[in-house]
A and B are shown apart, each in its own frame.
Chain A
């Protein structure tokens, strides 16, 4: 308590600075109050303009090699195994057509025999996926890998050359040419004596699942304690509370989701050292026109810019045309608007890829383990991803050139003495050879968050500013309270994890109908706690401040705090709900998990939308006051700004997109005026940016772009179907790979949305 009073005293001092009109800041406050709306608007516009300007050549930089040890392209190429690459290619195709036509399996025997004949150390690796939403569905897979042991080294470092295996019946482009090229490169590299690092040749099954399992096994992240039981990643952590305890009595066969039981990576029989870099090959045919270099990884993580740059530059050297999104190496670059437009579309392409946080190739899962990796994807004239301009005029590539490029890349990586640490890890690419560094793009996000913080500040000063001189002190007390409530809030949010799990499990198990009761119960206990604290806080000002005899403080910390807590608990519950929904759906309704998860989330959202406005009125005797509402919106603004900044630090695209979408809502949310039309527009905006609604609308519009001939109803239908799929993917990715998007949407965006909805649905007493 001593500390508390100390804190309050210091707060009084700082507030004195802010609120004391004698100090000369009153003018500032007045101007702030007057111009903050246009200023916020300006900041918003400024941020967006800033972002789009970055695509201009004057505002971004040319890529360069920061790591001198790479020495790219210094050696003369020797690769001449294109003949054997062609053989491998035709043999593999033959093998697949003969034996694997009807199955999706990976030709383990063929791969093992080919790699053994190349005198690699060959191993196979089995893994199992217990599909978390599939009610006991199990997928099995096998990876094959061969290790080239570098001579005169003790296998301390390694490079990986990977290729996913895709069966003939796969809807995606095949990767036979990639595997053939990999084997030919292995044949070429095996007799060389200059390797300083082992090279691991890896063929994975089931796309990203295989590589995830292999990487987890390589780093010993098996769930059984036999190998490793220090908790490494946060998402790897077993739940703090044993859910079984709560679920046992209610549902006998209901097992709570446990990530560690989800993907069983198995064990590896052979290993090399620390992996420094990886290249993933996706070539369906050797006669590709150009190579797309894919960089975006899990949660928008990017490989070191040096590696990306290396690949681009060495493609140029080997005579292979390459591209990144809408930037094509063979198109002449001017300084005109067309270059700018290409830059913008390239950057926007990168942003959309990063928002989803889904790796667009097998390289994306390496990043989590601190391994730099990119995917080289071969593309034809008529590629699924869209036709590139003038691609038909390009001469088709062949195994020789691809092999030469690969050789150059690996010899350059072989030169690396230190692991990639120079150059940039956070950047955006505006073209294959132009980049925007973190220092250049962060200001745009900061401007957006600055707009929110500015709005918070102006609300703050308007809450405490009162023309009545007598009231100033009293108001400062109010603010003091609100501040301490803020402190408490923070504490609560910190403590939330512990409490929330209990609450959650109870609530979720009890069924959705019991929601209100459980809500009622939980905060009651907390409220008591709060009440005591509040009294203590209340007592202090009364001691110090003798002037305000009657304490008609119209701010209730407890209510604000409890509301925030409950809202975030709902978010946390929503985050953990898909497993529950899919269970209910499969057990009682017999529907697909994607349907049950989607409708479960929709119903939850609707329920919350209907019920949450009453939450503000539940535990109070007097109606909510203007100031209270302002304080809530201040907290809301602070939370949103902080969240966007934090997310943006890790995944700029996601943070930026969230800020762009939610800043307008955050700015308009506030104490409602009289105008009904305005309120309606605000509420409509709020509904529109609800995560699910926004996703549906975006996907409907996207389907409109893809299928312009359909009518509005068809568009909506497609949008809904796409949303069901998207939600399911996000949930599964979050569970299997540790993708954040679903977690961010439910535990950060959803609660803030609820709070803003509450504010918009509340009318204030006069």
Chain B
């Protein structure tokens, strides 16, 4: 740490590894290597491309995640940073920006190029402007009406792949040659249940009076392994990443690996090699024991492994204080409903903001909003609704809810299916249409299962004993899929073929008949009356 000055860190990433599907794993490994220098001087640490994006589009704070899979809060607990399936981007712009929509479009296009993601599909029709659910985490001057400078969009259909991982790695000072990112073997991260990479940029105070700010760039990666897929309840770096860790990035001032060994007291497992340090943290009623490995650039090949004492583990899943589920109701192509089911498992009420967002082709009707089946509910303390407009604006509903203790709350809203124009159908139209995740912003009264950093925290060690009255967290529910009324796209093809054939066959003769005039031409001299009569009889005889 040099002078305690942000911006940060180029290299830090949460390699937040959960290696089971059903339990918060014994290894909650994290490493952050903050090296803090003045941004202008240290483009060898902070990627210049990102900095340019920030200054050019006057972005105050930026969060981008690319995720494959769904974080299952009920089974896995809470992640350090939650992310919506697919691509998710939100940013606050500086108050100086006059045309934010325009700037937003430029920003998304630039980031699309930078991360090889389809972020250029973000347009006004899938961008919302959350009022209550998102708050800037960096040092900003205009906290009062920050939401007007905020833009949020998610692309649930985005498929995250190697092509997104490589540009992400390139932002690191050591790229993928040294340090933790050398572990990210794109072949092996597809053995995971969930993987998410993210870039989070914010401004933080340079001094205590906050007269100057620096940019903090945080790069995160989260992988969840399934020990059934790994076919082993023991894990090691070799098993997870295909190789050991060959020292930290020489440019990093500190590289650490944290492993959550809280469950060691109940189900015994052994870590090899032994950790450098074991720290106990008491935070908001939860006790966490962490094993810490300090990684130096010259450390020899490190293959951290955990060996379980017994092969038969009975996993008892204790759900976190707040979890949720979202699904679509109904069948057929006329009506449907979206239900968000939120469970408060805690003994005290929890305040949440639920931000539903439905694309324009899924018109949700505010009149059908029911909370626990009733149109009027005491649970709602605030409400914001922005109706969508066809092909221009999505539907957006925010509810400030107070969830009663030990309760399940269902928020239901009905929608109607609409017909799209035929060019608006995506390829594989019968696959279905994605509905993005809803945002749930909660002030958790307990830090049970919560591993998020406090707002002033930069590195993972800031969670140690960081007790607060409440812990703000933003969660994403799962998305859903509906199938809109879809025309039979092979039908037009058949029709075109048939019609063309018919036209081709019919056109010639018809054209002939229509354009040519049939004229009877007299042969020789005009006939006399007698001859005509004779001809008439002759005809009859024929």
Contact = CB atoms under 8 A, between A and B. Distances in A.
B480 A152 contact: no
B432 A227 contact: no
Interface in B283-329: 315, 325, 327-329
B479 A156 contact: yes
Contacts of B194: 151-152
Given A151-B69, A220-B329, A230-B335, A193 B481 contact: no
Which 5 residue pairs of A and B lie closest in terms of their CB atoms, listed nearest first? A226-B373, A220-B329, A418-B430, A154-B70, A154-B85
Contacts of B330: 219-221, 228, 230, 232
B516 interface: no
Q: Which of A154, A219, A226, A370 has the most C-beta atoms of chain B within 10 angstroms of its own C-beta?
A: A154
B190 A419 contact: no
A227 B410 CA distance: 8
A219 to B, nearest CB: 5
A622 to B, nearest CB: 50
B329 A228 contact: yes
Nearest to B226: A151
Contacts of A220: 327, 329-330, 337, 339
Given A119-B21, A156-B434, A418 B370 contact: no
A369 B329 CA distance: 11
Interface in B323-358: 325, 327-332, 334-337, 339
B239 to A, nearest CB: 14
Contacts of B430: 418-419, 421
B331 A219 contact: yes
Contacts of B331: 219, 232, 368-370
Nearest to A118: B228
B431 A227 contact: no
A138 B58 CA distance: 67
Interface in A203-235: 219-221, 224-230, 232-233
A190 interface: yes
B231 interface: yes
B517 interface: no
B75 A419 contact: no
Contacts of B85: 154
B22 interface: yes
Interface in B466-480: 478-480
Contacts, number: 117
B334 A226 contact: no
Nearest to A216: B331
B156 interface: yes
Given A119-B228, A149-B21, A228 B337 contact: yes
16 contacts: A149-B193, A154-B478, A157-B432, A191-B228, A219-B331, A220-B327, A220-B337, A224-B373, A225-B370, A227-B337, A228-B412, A230-B368, A232-B330, A417-B428, A418-B428, A422-B490
Interface of B: 21-22, 68-70, 72, 75, 85, 156, 190-195, 226, 228-229, 231, 315, 325, 327-332, 334-337, 339, 368, 370, 372-373, 410, 412, 414, 428-432, 434, 478-483, 486, 488, 490
Given A155-B478, A232-B335, 14 more contacts: A151-B229, A152-B68, A152-B195, A153-B69, A154-B85, A156-B434, A221-B330, A226-B373, A271-B327, A274-B481, A368-B331, A417-B428, A417-B431, A419-B430
Contacts of B334: 232
A273 interface: yes
A157 B432 CA distance: 10
Interface in A164-196: 190-193
Contacts of A152: 68-69, 190, 192-195
Contacts of B480: 156, 273
Contacts of A157: 432, 481
A224 B372 CA distance: 10
B320 to A, nearest CB: 16
Interface in A129-154: 149, 151-154
Contact of A274 (B72, B75, B337, B432): B432
Contact of A226 (B192, B315, B410, B488): B410
Interface in A238-280: 270-271, 273-274
Contacts of A191: 228-229, 231
Nearest to B156: A154
Contacts of B368: 230
A121 interface: yes
A227 B373 contact: yes
B192 A227 contact: no
A75 B325 CA distance: 35
Interface residues of A, number: 38
Contact of A232 (B190, B195, B332): B332
Contact of A419 (B193, B339, B483): B483
B421 to A, nearest CB: 19
Nearest to A273: B481
A224 B481 CA distance: 24
A178 to B, nearest CB: 24
Given A151-B69, A152-B194, A227 B412 contact: yes
Contacts of B431: 417-419
A119 B483 contact: no
Interface of A: 119, 121, 149, 151-157, 190-193, 219-221, 224-230, 232-233, 270-271, 273-274, 368-370, 417-419, 421-422
Contact of B72 (A149, A192, A229): A149
A466 B434 CA distance: 67
A191 to B, nearest CB: 5
B412 A193 contact: no
Contacts of A119: 21-22, 228, 315
A275 to B, nearest CB: 10
B75 A121 contact: yes
Q: Which of A191, A233, A369 has the most C-beta atoms of chain B within 10 angstroms of its own C-beta?
A: A191
A152 B225 CA distance: 10
Nearest to B86: A154
Contacts of B315: 119
Given A224-B373, A369-B331, A193 B70 contact: no
B43 to A, nearest CB: 35
Contacts of A422: 490
B329 A419 contact: no
Contacts of B21: 119, 149
Nearest to B429: A418
Contact of A230 (B229, B328, B414): B414
Nearest to A230: B335
A369 to B, nearest CB: 4
Contacts of A368: 331
B488 A421 contact: yes
Contacts of A149: 21, 72, 193
Nearest to A272: B327
Nearest to B312: A117
Contacts of B428: 417-418
A154 B70 CA distance: 5
B197 to A, nearest CB: 13
Contacts of A230: 330, 335-337, 368, 414
Given A152-B193, A226-B373, A274 B328 contact: yes
A190 B228 contact: yes
B118 to A, nearest CB: 17
Contacts of A370: 331-332
A153 B336 CA distance: 23
Contacts of B434: 156
A625 to B, nearest CB: 47
Contact of A227 (B231, B325, B339, B486): B339
Contacts of A274: 328, 432, 481-483
A219 B339 CA distance: 11
A421 B431 CA distance: 10
Contacts of A417: 428, 431
A155 B70 contact: yes
Nearest to B85: A154
B488 to A, nearest CB: 7
Contacts of A153: 69-70
